[in-house]
Structure formats: structure tokens, C-alpha cells
Amino acid sequence: MAQDHSVLGLRVCFSFFPLLQLLLSKMAEEAAAPAASDFSPDQIEDFKESFGLFDRVGDNQVAYNQVADIMRALGQNPTNKDVAKILGNPTPDDMANKRINFEAFLPMLKQVDGAPKGSYDDYVEGLRVFDKEGNGTVMGAELRIVLSTLGEKMSEPEIEALMTGQEDENGSIHYEAFVKHIMSV
């Protein structure tokens, strides 16, 4: 039974990594999640403007490898794996060289917009797996290893930016406060 709990906790924890990356990218803006209906004309105009900011060539298209960044800038939280699936699992060469226009991008954005988002409780439960003493803390060093090796791996500078000021004098992180901090950024 403990193993089932650990597996569930790890699965929840893996859903935590894209959120961390989203917050660290500094590109994300708060966006009201649209209802199940289509996007409003104002939203579409905002999306189109953001999309245009990523058009480096001036042909009203962006490279496949920019799609995830645009979605995150629009307040969504897709994993790279989710975006690759939406794009049809392109090769690395296709990711760098294929381009997509806004009309093809918008349905993809709608697809990730409906994806369930993790809650505070989900993230706390995911980190609780690493709380070996049951005292509400995880070791900062262990969290650094997890963030750099599992799921969507974070770089050292991203991890340092995230962890700054979060560890106590013993190198522990109070994960409930940590999750509140992450979700408030």
C-alpha cells in the first residue's frame, strides 16, 4: 500500500514541474480561463498579439519549438510532451524548422486550455512523498536533484531562482509554504 501511495505522490509531483517552469519563465501572465465555449473576440485578439511577438521572421508564423512558450505566455501550463503530442510528435528537426500560423495554433491552445490544472493540495501531496520524517519539510538538496533529473528537467539557474530564500538553516524546505510561494508568483 505504501508503494501505491508513493507512486501516486510521484505522479502528482511530476505534474508540479511544469508549474515551476511556467513560473520561472517570467513570460506567464494571469489569464482568465475561458468557459467551455469558444474564445471571445477580445481573447482571440490578445492571443494573436502574443503569437505575433514570437514571429521572428515576419511571415505570421512561428516555429514548432515556440508553441509551448507561447502557450505558457498565455497562462497555460502544457508539458513539452503534451505540446509534442498536439503537434503530431514531430522530429527534433521538424521542431526547429516547421512553422505554424495563428489559425492552426488557436485550436491547439483550446486543447490545452481544457486540461486539468493541479491544485495546492495536489502539489503538497506530491512533495509529501519526499517528507521522510513526516514533519512538513523536505531536504533542499533532494528537491534540487528531483527538479534537475525528473520530469521536465530544470536548469541550475532556474532551480536556484526558485529555491532562493526557501531553505531554513538546516537546508530544509517547509513544503506547504513553498507551494504557497510558488502559486502566488
Does the domain made of 2-23+117-184 have the CATH classification 3.40.630.10? no
Domain limits of the chain? 2-23+117-184, 34-113
40/164 Cα distance (integer angstroms): 39
The predicted pLDDT at position 182 comes to 83
* Torsion sign over Cα 17, 23, 29, 32: positive
- What is the CATH code of the structural domain delimited by 34-113? 1.10.238.10
State pLDDT tens for residues 125-139.
Answer: 889 888 989 999 999
Same fold, 2-23+117-184 and 34-113: yes
Buried b / exposed e along 113-123 (16+ C-beta atoms within 10 A): beeeebeeebb
The pLDDT of residue 100 is above 70: yes
Q: What is the pTM of this model?
A: 0.51
Q: In this predicted model, which residue has the larger pLDDT, 90 or 182?
A: 90
